Amino acid sequence: MKPEDMIEFEVNQLLEAINFRYGYDFRDYSRASLERRILNRVSLSDLGFVSEMLPKILHEPDFFDLFLRDMSVTVTEMFREPQVFRKVRQEVFTQLKTYARVNIWHAGCATGEEVYSMAIMLKEEGLLARTRIYATDYNNHSLEIAEKGIYPAEKVKLFTQNYLASGGKASFADYYLAKFKSAKMAESLKEHITFANHNLMKDQSFAEMHLIVCRNVLIYFNPKLQDRVLGLFKESLIPRGFLLLGDKETLEFSQVKSSFEEFAAKERIFRRLIHV
Amino acid sequence: MYEALVIGASAGGLHALTSILPLLPYDYPLAILIVQHRCREADSFLVDYLNERSAVRVKEAEPGEMIRPAHAYIAPAGYHLLVERDKTLSLSIDPPVNYSIPSIDVLFQSAAASYKNHLIGLILTGANSDGSLGLKMIKDYGGFIIVQDPLTAEADVMPKAAIDKVVADKIIPIDTLGHYLAECDYVPEISVAKGTLHE
């Protein structure tokens, strides 16, 4: 038997161990990406086999922390896919303005770029004062970065371009403080954001939401976990509440499909129906 | 018997793909998975253009989709395309690999782990070395390796890098590559499979 034929078995053991020891259940993640990340860590840590990670995971919490970081590295940026943010500003906010109080949940917020993007738009549309944004992730390391809201200065150019393309009404420079080689997001935005640890794999719904943003998270889950998470979103949304997914994500094959209507198909904005 | 053909293309890839896919028959026995490097904002032009000219169905890969023969799945701009062990597709927005998203290595390595020795890997024109590691893994699993003859490539860096990294089973000029793949003569089992498909 070749070493590569044992990888599947070794990864199964590793995921069992992680679930047993730390209560994180990655067994319902899409396997191909997960294996790629695990094999990267094997190589970075100068290990020969996936199974050599097993004792380290079980007995070295710091090593597990590394694993968690590996698992949550994704590519994100402010106003990623500006046309989506433009649509939210133009169409979804019009609806949100009819509520006295607005709750928004960014599920799987990673390092927070999209959370601040949303806060900026809310501010420009006069909605921020009555809005509470809950930004959650299972990874405390990502959450720390999100909460600090400090991003590398070299990204500001891209952020600014995206901001303008999304229909920004002021100057992006109004929303951050340039310091050394970084940009720190304005405190006035942060006041309306609550950062918290929430694990989509096992945690429950925690408040009633008017809008849930969860982009490019479901692509990492298998259909079973996708259904769990979408069920959680349905439960958390008020009737007529909005769900914003990533541009390759769909409700088409999910159990909650009949509970939502397409609000803006191209931008992947769905709306919860009233009676289902 | 071979089940899938993975193709990696970069600079000059549109022309190369256009000289291959339209020659494949509508009942082509393999599933085809393609990474063509392009900018993240790219629209559906590539997919539409190839689909209009091909008998096999060319479409953008969707997450969770079952992989089927006679279909060519193209990685969406800005996403890595991966093959799951149950022969479904998945996407990721993990960091770029070889400065590329989608990356050829990411597709090839995941496809190799899933299809093992039932996979054919093909590297076309390109100006970087993405795909070489993936090709090596396909080889390690006993798959079949084809590289476009660098002399016929608009950009020869990628096919050259591939040839440096692995011993290719075939090096074929672009003008005969499509016919070669369409005939399915390169592996006896496929000729048999093609025959049974018509019964």
CB contact under 8 Å between B82 and A73, yes or no, is no
- The residues of B assigned a catalytic role are 10, 37, 130
Query: What residues contact A104, with CB distance under 8 A and at least 6 apart?
Result: A118, A131, A132, A133, A134, A209, A210, A211, A212, A213
CB contact under 8 Å between B84 and A253, yes or no, is no
The CATH architecture to which A82-272 belongs is: 3-Layer(aba) Sandwich (3.40)
Lowest pLDDT segment from A118-132, A220-234, B107-121, B179-193: B179-193
pLDDT of residue A191: 96
For chain A, which residues make up each domain, given as ranges?
Answer: 3-71, 82-272
Q: Which residue of A has its CA nearest to B108?
A: A32
pLDDT of residue B13: 97
Q: How confident is the model at residue B195 (pLDDT cuts 50, 70, 90)?
A: very low
Q: Can you tell me the mean pLDDT for B145-165?
A: 97
- C-beta of residue B65 within 8 angstroms of C-beta of residue B85: no
Say how far apart CA B10 and CA B154 lie, in whole Å.
10
Does pTM surpass 0.90? Answer: yes
Of B65, B31, B29, B36, the residue nearest B50 (C-alpha): B36
Q: Does A36 touch chain B (CB under 8 A)?
A: yes
Share of chain B above pLDDT 90, in %: 88
State the average pLDDT for chain B. 92
User: Which residue carries 């990294």 as its tokens?
Assistant: B165
Is the model's pLDDT at B187 over the cut of 80?
Answer: no
pLDDT of residue B48: 97
CB contact under 8 Å between A4 and B140, yes or no, is yes
Say how far apart CA B75 and CA B61 lie, in whole Å.
6
Say how far apart CA B182 and CA B63 lie, in whole Å.
28
pLDDT of residue A1: 74
Lowest pLDDT segment from A5-9, A151-155, A256-260, B142-146: A5-9
Is the model's pLDDT at A107 over the cut of 50?
Answer: yes
pLDDT of residue A70: 92
Share of chain A above pLDDT 70, in %: 100
Is the model's pLDDT at A101 over the cut of 50?
Answer: yes
Cβ-count burial A162-190 (b if 16+ within 10 Å, e if not): bbeebbbeeebeebbeeeeebbebbeebb
Of A126, A112, A92, A113, the residue nearest A211 (C-alpha): A92
Is the model's pLDDT at A59 over the cut of 50?
Answer: yes
Q: Which of A76, A219, A253 sits opposite B90 (nearest CB)?
A: A219
Q: Can you tell me the mean pLDDT for A34-55?
A: 96
Q: How confident is the model at residue B191 (pLDDT cuts 50, 70, 90)?
A: very low
Q: Can you tell me the mean pLDDT for A34-50?
A: 95
By three-state DSSP, how is residue B156 classified? coil
Say how far apart CA A248 and CA B76 lie, in whole Å.
9
Is the model's pLDDT at A99 over the cut of 50?
Answer: yes
- C-beta of residue A219 within 8 angstroms of C-beta of residue B76: no
The third-level CATH classification (topology) of the domain covering B4-194 is Rossmann fold (3.40.50)
Is the model's pLDDT at B185 over the cut of 70?
Answer: no
Amino acid sitting at position A178: A
Lowest pLDDT segment from A80-89, B57-66, B184-193: B184-193
Which residues 60-119 on chain A approach chain B with CB closer than 8 angstroms?
73-76
**Torsion sign across C-alpha atoms A255, A261, A266, A268:** negative
Q: Does B95 touch chain A (CB under 8 A)?
A: yes
Q: Does A35 touch chain B (CB under 8 A)?
A: yes
CB contact under 8 Å between B92 and A73, yes or no, is no
Q: How confident is the model at residue B196 (pLDDT cuts 50, 70, 90)?
A: very low
Q: Can you tell me the mean pLDDT for B5-30?
A: 97
Lowest pLDDT segment from B28-42, B129-143, B185-199: B185-199
Q: How confident is the model at residue B186 (pLDDT cuts 50, 70, 90)?
A: low
Local structure of residue A90 (DSSP, 8 states): I
Chain B hits for A30, Cβ within 8 Å: 63, 82, 84, 90, 92
Is the model's pLDDT at B172 over the cut of 80?
Answer: yes
Q: How confident is the model at residue B197 (pLDDT cuts 50, 70, 90)?
A: very low
Lowest pLDDT segment from A72-81, A200-209, B180-189: B180-189
Which residues 169-228 on chain A approach chain B with CB closer than 8 angstroms?
216, 219-220, 223
In this structure, the strands spanning A260-264 and A269-272 are antiparallel
